[in-house]
């Protein structure tokens, strides 16, 4: 995750349609004098409540349009997981003025490309085209926003497509299937964090046409949408096109997200499964953690640094303890600060063939114990901060990073500052903060250990 600050304040929209803020976020942050925003995005709102972000880039004559909705797999109704993802598929089935399949065909004829994705927190639809074709894709996306068709006759064929996607990506992949079961063990099978974004197979089969219509009515409102344009556009003309195409989408009140808190304790503290399809054991351990929107949000930035310090390749603690000693072939740690609701801090490793699982687990436990007892070493924290913030330069190399990062933050209820001044936030993290975050999360009994082992019999 690369998150970062604002150059222009959000213009106010009518109170009746304004997107409700999240309950909490990290303390306000003032960037150091002279700190420049990564993208310099301009942000404003239409009277119907839809927010717009424009990140200019004149490097190549290309435009990217992203439409984000503040609803993902975490908003799936209880008992029918996969609705948000199914909705993404059905949004390609035509709208009032754009026949089924025509949007993608027209974009392809212009030499561009389009697609969509569903995460746990957002759903997004995007097109990349030559700069002069922005009006074309904007008109089609606005029509899909306001007048999607959702043909009932397409429900069953598309259900088979979704089930096949699940079969290929998860059911046929023992490690993906294990990770899915591990999430359910940590959070609970019906908790929003424990359900797969694509859905449980039986629940995908239970989704009805009426469920899609209800989901669209609740979440696909202008006040819950963020349009992000990145690339080579003239600001005045862009503003005119946005108002022309999206200003007429009917306003509806935005719905507050209802993300239940994590269970008091994981349903399972340990999960061990076996598979004939693997030859090397996989180790996972995850903890319930704060995020920028839940819990002690001021730990979130320090947890980003902690994840890098623990498991970011050569020089990290886990690399030294597991890979350089020959116990593992890979070792990683991960954390995303910008979750909507509770976060998750995780570590993982793949054991070298011949390594006893208990030896790898003991070595990992020893790394964490030393860190908790002795604290984060200042030199390692400084190194991690240098390497993490260097990634900000990569975000500026093309126009693809800006719309994804800005749209995800705004649609998740975070301020644009979270994106624009992300490097400054990371540079402000101290060794003491990393140590405090580690002790708050890694020493708490809200974790689950998982092993996927080769089947020996």
Q: Which helix (H) or strand (E) covers residue 125, if one does? A: strand 123-130
> Does residue 257 belong to any structural domain of this protein?
no
% of the chain beyond a pLDDT of 70: 93
Closest CA to 230 of 354, 21, 395: 395
Q: Which two tokens stand for residue 76?
A: 């799936």
What residues are labeled active site?
A: 88
CA distances for 52 relative to 12, 247, 315, 375, angstroms: 12, 11, 41, 43
Q: What pLDDT does residue 24 have?
A: 52
> Are residues 398 and 317 part of one domain?
yes
> Are residues 367 and 221 part of one domain?
no
> Does residue 222 belong to any structural domain of this protein?
yes
> Does residue 261 belong to any structural domain of this protein?
no
> Are residues 223 and 277 part of one domain?
no
Out of 62-71, 82-91, 158-167, 448-457, least confident range: 448-457
Strand 282-289 with 447-454, pairing: antiparallel
Closest CA to 342 of 295, 284, 286: 295
Q: Which two tokens stand for residue 138?
A: 């904007």
Last residue of a domain, one of 212, 246, 280: 246
Mean pLDDT of 413-424: 94
> Are residues 236 and 299 part of one domain?
no
Is residue 220 a contact partner of residue 83, using CB atoms and an 8 Å limit?
A: no
> Does residue 357 belong to any structural domain of this protein?
yes
> Does residue 317 belong to any structural domain of this protein?
yes
Angle at 99 between CA 96 and CA 100, to 5 degrees: 115
> Are residues 292 and 222 part of one domain?
no
pLDDT confidence tier of residue 29, bands split at 50, 70 and 90 = confident
Between 24 and 45, residue with greater pLDDT: 45
> Are residues 330 and 204 part of one domain?
no
Question: For residue 281, what are the contacts with CB-CB under 8 A and spacing of at least 6?
Answer: 350, 351, 355, 357, 360, 451, 452, 453, 454
> Are residues 232 and 298 part of one domain?
no
Mean pLDDT of 156-182: 98
Q: Which helix (H) or strand (E) covers residue 332, if one does? A: strand 328-335
Q: Which two tokens stand for residue 393?
A: 């330069």
State the CATH number of the domain containing residue 345: 3.30.830.10
List pLDDT tens digits, range 65-74. Answer: 999 999 999 9
List pLDDT tens digits, range 183-192. Answer: 999 999 999 9
Closest CA to 54 of 66, 72, 71: 66
> Does residue 10 belong to any structural domain of this protein?
no
pLDDT confidence tier of residue 274, bands split at 50, 70 and 90 = very high
* Residue for token pair 């959070």: 187
Last residue of a domain, one of 199, 214, 246: 246
pLDDT confidence tier of residue 12, bands split at 50, 70 and 90 = very low
> Are residues 195 and 325 part of one domain?
no
Q: How many domains does the chain have?
A: 2
pLDDT confidence tier of residue 2, bands split at 50, 70 and 90 = very low
pLDDT value at 11 more than 50? no
- Backbone dihedral angles phi then psi of residue 127, each to the nearest 5 degrees: -140, 145
Q: Classify each residue of 101-126 as buried b or exposed e, where b means 16 or more C-beta atoms within 10 Å of its C-beta.
A: eebeebbeebebebebebbbbbbbbb
> Are residues 433 and 285 part of one domain?
yes
Q: What is the pTM of this model?
A: 0.92
> Does residue 255 belong to any structural domain of this protein?
no
> Are residues 168 and 61 part of one domain?
yes
Out of 7-21, 204-218, 312-326, 409-423, least confident range: 7-21
> Are residues 392 and 350 part of one domain?
yes
> Are residues 235 and 346 part of one domain?
no
List pLDDT tens digits, range 354-394. Answer: 999 999 999 999 999 999 999 999 999 999 999 999 877 77
Q: What pLDDT does residue 32 have?
A: 86
> Does residue 9 belong to any structural domain of this protein?
no
Question: For residue 311, what are the contacts with CB-CB under 8 A and spacing of at least 6?
Answer: 317, 318, 319, 331, 332, 333, 334, 347, 348
Q: Which two tokens stand for residue 456?
A: 């020996």
Q: What pLDDT does residue 252 have?
A: 92
Last residue of a domain, one of 184, 213, 246: 246
Residue 240: domain span = 42-246
CA gap 413, 435 in Å, rounded: 28
pLDDT value at 258 more than 70? yes
CA gap 26, 409 in Å, rounded: 13
């Amino acid at each position: 995750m690369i998150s970062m600050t604002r150059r222009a304040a959000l213009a106010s929209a009518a109170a009746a349609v304004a997107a409700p803020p999240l309950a909490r976020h990290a303390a306000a942050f003032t960037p150091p004098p002279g700190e420049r925003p990564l993208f310099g995005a301009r942000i404003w709102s239409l009277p119907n409540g839809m927010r717009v972000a424009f990140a200019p880039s004149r490097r190549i004559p290309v435009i990217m349009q992203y439409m984000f909705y503040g609803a993902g797999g975490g908003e799936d109704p209880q008992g029918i997981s996969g609705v948000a993802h199914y909705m993404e598929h059905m949004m390609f089935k035509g709208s009032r003025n754009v026949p089924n399949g025509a949007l993608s065909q027209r974009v392809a004829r212009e030499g561009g490309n389009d697609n969509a994705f569903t995460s746990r927190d957002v759903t997004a639809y995007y097109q990349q085209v030559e700069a002069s074709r922005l009006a074309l894709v904007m008109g089609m996306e606005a029509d899909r926003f306001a007048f999607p068709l959702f043909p009932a006759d397409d429900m069953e064929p598309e259900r088979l497509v979704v089930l096949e996607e699940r079969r290929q990506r998860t059911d046929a992949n023992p490690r993906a299937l294990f990770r899915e079961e591990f999430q359910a063990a940590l959070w609970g099978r019906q908790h929003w964090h424990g359900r797969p974004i694509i859905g449980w197979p039986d629940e995908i089969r239970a989704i009805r046409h009426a469920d899609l219509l209800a989901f669209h009515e609740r979440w696909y409102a202008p006040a819950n949408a963020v349009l992000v344009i990145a690339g080579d556009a003239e600001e005045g003309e862009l503003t005119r096109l946005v108002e022309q195409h999206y200003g007429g989408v009917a306003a509806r009140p935005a719905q507050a997200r209802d993300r239940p808190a994590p269970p008091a304790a994981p349903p399972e503290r340990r999960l061990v499964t076996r598979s004939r399809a693997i030859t090397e054991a996989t180790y996972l351990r995850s903890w319930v953690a704060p995020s920028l929107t839940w819990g002690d949000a001021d730990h979130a930035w320090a947890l980003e640094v902690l994840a890098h310090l623990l498991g970011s390749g050569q020089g990290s603690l886990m690399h030294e303890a597991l890979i350089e000693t020959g116990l593992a072939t890979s070792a990683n740690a991960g954390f995303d600060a910008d979750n909507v609701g509770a976060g998750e801090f995780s570590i993982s490793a793949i054991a070298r063939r011949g390594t006893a699982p208990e030896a790898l687990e003991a070595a990992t436990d020893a790394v964490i114990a030393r860190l908790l007892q002795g604290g984060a070493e200042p030199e390692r924290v400084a190194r991690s901060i240098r390497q993490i913030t260097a990634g900000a330069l990569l975000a500026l190399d093309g126009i693809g990073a800006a719309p994804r990062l800005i749209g995800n933050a705004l649609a998740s209820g975070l301020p644009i500052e979270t994106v624009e001044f992300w490097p400054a936030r990371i540079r402000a993290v101290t060794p003491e903060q990393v140590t405090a975050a580690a002790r708050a999360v890694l020493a708490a009994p809200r974790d689950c250990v998982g092993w996927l082992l080769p089947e020996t019999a």
